Amino acid sequence: MSSWISWSRIFALMVKELRVLFRDKRTRFVVIGPPLIQLMVFGYAATFELKQAPIAILNQDQGIESQEIIGRLEGSDSFKVVARLHAQQEVNKWIDEKKALVVVSFPSDFSSRLLKNGTTDLQVIVDGRNSNTALLAQNDVAGVVQTFNQEWAKQHNLKQPPLNLVPRNWFNENLENNWFFVPGIVALIVLIVSLLITALSVAREREEGTFDQLLVTPCLPIEILIGKSLPGVLVAVLESNLIILIAILWFDVPFRGNYWLIQLAMVFFVTSSIGVGLMISSLSTTQQQALLGAFMFMVPAVILSGFATPIENMPEVIQWLTYMDPMRYFLVIVRGIFLQDIGVDVVWSQTWPMAIIALVTMSLAGWLFRHRTA
């Protein structure tokens, strides 16, 4: 045996591997398609910029000065004025239901105090559930106010800024990042665990040659489906409860809501994730294919869920894609129960889409059990 490296042999092996890699049309698609698709999705979805964020105005003042500031907010690319409120009680609804990220409140004596004293306060109420977005929103409002301060001070020969910004962060007063990210990690880990357990399940049996034997047993497809699903549900729910306990006791994240509501929603979320995992597993002939398929679903699911970047910042086409992502709905529930004490109505509005996703994916997985050919 020659001890010298033969570059011709290496080249021949490389050509052979490339031919094997691109010979199968499914392999060609996996190598070329998903990276291009993910590049386009992530390029538009993963952004920390604040564009056209929904803002509501509560103006109880009749002066020109308040109208000037409102005009500056309307002219900013960062905000989109979605409502003109008439009473303080309306603020709760618009913030609670995420219809507005920011509410700017002008008191009835705003203009008179500004003209008389040369200074006054401007209250900004921010939805603090997403600490990153809330901080960006505060900074953008502060930028508009700073520009007004500079021009007003110059016109009226003032040495101090006329407007004092008074921010109020609801649900996360100090904008603690852990309060935002740690509840989201509950959803993230549950998705990973449930998806991987079930994605490998059928593929492993196909690889070992035991799945066809399972199909000819007296077990009905629905029984196989349930039998494959329940271990993933059990493991994911138990692990999620451990994570919730750590979040409360170790990371000091407040738990303000109903424990049983989050458990009920957890079952629907895990079931929908398992349905996707079983579909991937049924389409795969090897465990490597199943792992790759799970990764192809998992990464976009996390990005499109609003885990790190707000869905509202994404282009409208990308926002439509998020409706097919079960993690999108569970994130609203888990963060809402932790920080806001949301009720049954809000939980149900996010639970029934997960139920539909679970029904569709489980049905397709059951059909693929019988009709998928190796």
pLDDT 10s digits, 171-222:
888 888 888 888 888 898 889 888 888 888 777 777 777 776 766 667 677 7
CA dihedral 19, 25, 31, 37 (to 10 degrees): 160
Provide mean pLDDT across the span 119-137: 87
d(CA 306, CA 332): 9
Percent of the chain with pLDDT over 70: 86
β-pair partners for 168:
125
d(CA 226, CA 127): 41
Give 83-109 pLDDT, tens digit per residue.
999 888 899 889 888 889 999 999 888
- Its sign, for the CA torsion 78, 83, 87, 92, is negative
**Sequence letter at residue 61:** D
Helix axes 177-208, 326-339, angle to 10 degrees: 140
Phi, psi of 60 (to 5 degrees): -100, 10
Q: Evaluate if residue 223 carries a pLDDT over 90.
A: no
Q: Evaluate if residue 39 carries a pLDDT over 80.
A: no
Q: Evaluate if residue 360 carries a pLDDT over 90.
A: yes
Q: Evaluate if residue 45 carries a pLDDT over 60.
A: no
d(CA 236, CA 55): 38
